[in-house]
Amino acid sequence: MAGLYPDPTICRVGDDFWVAHSSFEYSPGIPVWHSRDLLTWRQVGNALDRDDQSVAGAAPASGGIYAPTLRHHDGRFWLITTDVDAADGGQVAFHAETPEGPWSAAIRLTDLRGIDPDLVWDDDGVCLVSFCYWDDDGIVIKQAAVDLEAGRLLEEPRWLWRGTGLGNTEGPHLYRRGGWWYLVVAEGGTDRGHVVSVARSRDPRGPFEGFPGNPVLTHRSTRHPVQSVGHADLVELPDGSWAAVYLGTRPRGRTPRFHVNGRETFLAAVRWEDDWPVFDEGALIPHEQPGDVDDDFSRLPDWHPRWISAGARLTDCTVPVRDGVLLRHVPVPSGESTGLFTRARHAHWSARIELTAGTGPAVAGVRVDARHWYGLRVTADEVQAVSHVGAIEHVVGTVPSPAGRPVVAHVASRPATTGGPDDIELSVETGDGRVVLASLDGRYLSTEVAGGFTGRVLGVWAEAGEVTVHRITYGADHA
């Protein structure tokens, strides 16, 4: 999945494959995808869309919902994740009859501190949660038996595996294959040193022996176009073969190179040699996912699951109206933007956004977070091209707002002229044609500059008051 779909987890039931991802501060949370062949995928929903499930709508940038695990057991689907900004901390579990939902209210395991929880059931049906934990001695993988229905620990968490000696051992997933239990982890941090390592044991509670050839997957210190690969989750196919999903980034430009669409999901085949997994990245090539958008909000009966918001839930900040959707500014403690966003998914793209100014300024643009964005600020009087990087905001061009008709704003990612990943072009349709107000260096809307775990999203946000959004189109090389 191209774009901001990190920390993938995969589950198969029969001939159906399901994948879910981290969503961080964006709401609704945990996007869910379906496939019958591993090669063609369709987003079928988002698991977390209610107040009794998470607090992600009020989370700060790169807070909120961290790496989930999706599994099926005794006729039900289970999700477990970390809601890092919840007041009581700990891990959060949900269940559903089908991954499309609806998902249950949160079951909070408040005594289980850490991140990246995994779910597995042993031969006696006892649920084991493995997770990443850190203390003064460093970062380790711990495990505890739990009563998942009740959200109760059945034992004190115990040390499981420290990894191979690289930093940041995290993202554990535990599997049974034959007489072995395999523990797959991420190491090296979710940056350029990221790797996948594996250990095995005859017992899911350990002790675990690391593979002598670890790591089993990495692109560190190479010029491979996909970097930071790691955080893998394995799945057995109906024919007995195996595959894995994992995250990676696609940095571009001059050193240190810059990735802008966040951490994305990739697919590999997995074969077994001497009862150890071997990743084959060229054996399974997913079909190209177009990712194009053409949503006329005056005609949409329901939200497509692609639409997300930072700051407040879509249901809290939008109201359907005759000619579109009324988008309201809702102040939140995190300072993130109440908005209507979709993930940027291509290397170069164009978006056309049609809106009518309301009672306060609104921005049609592209953002990483509330401190790093480029956009066209629309009021009843004028349209400003704005660069906002860190604490510095600069208006780089202005035209009068068109009288008596909506503003048609264009935001595009163009080939770079600065050694960065791209240039962001901001333009407006006027009575004299389309006017380019700015072409801005894309490096400043990269994770390397902004930090954090997310990537670019584009759309509209209200800085105050309200604005009417009529239509948004987006795609690769759109005019």
Positions marked catalytic: 7, 170
Task: Give the 3-state DSSP-derived string for the chain, with helices as H, strands as E and coil as C.
Answer: CCCCCCCCEEEEECCEEEEECCCECEECEEEEEEECCCCCCEEEEEEECCCCCCCHHHCCCCCCECCCEEEEECCEEEEEEEECCCCCCCEEEEEECCCCCCCCCCEEECCCCCEEEEEEECCCCCEEEEEEEEECCEEEEEEEEEECCCCEECCCCEEEECCCCCCCCEEEEEEEECCEEEEEEEECCCCCCCEEEEEEECCCCCCCEECCCCCCEECCCCCCCCEEEEEEEEEECCCCCEEEEEEEECCECCCCCECCCCCEEEEEEEEEECCEEEEECCCCCCCCCCCCEEEECCCCCCCCCCCEEECCCHHHHEEEECCEEEEECCCCCCCCCCEEEEECCCCCEEEEEEEECCCCCEEEEEEEECCEEEEEEECCCEEEEEEEECCEEEEEEEEECCCCCCEEEEEEEECCCCCCCCEEEEEEEECCEEEEEEEEEHHHHCHHHHCCCCCCEEEEEECCCEEEEEEEEEECCCC
Q: Which residue has the tokens 């170069």?
A: 348
> What's the token pair of residue 142?
């711990």
CA–CA distance, 417 with 85 (Å, rounded to integer): 39
CA distances 310 to 26, 366, 367, Å, are: 5, 13, 11
Any idea what the Cα angle at residue 104 is, between residues 101 and 109, rounded to 5°?
Answer: 135
CA–CA distance, 56 with 79 (Å, rounded to integer): 16
Q: Which residue has the tokens 């291509």?
A: 346
CA–CA distance, 312 with 451 (Å, rounded to integer): 22
> What's the token pair of residue 139?
């970062």
Any idea what the Cα angle at residue 86 is, between residues 82 and 92, rounded to 5°?
Answer: 35
CA dihedral 143, 144, 145, 150 (to 10 degrees): -130
> What's the token pair of residue 45?
């929903």
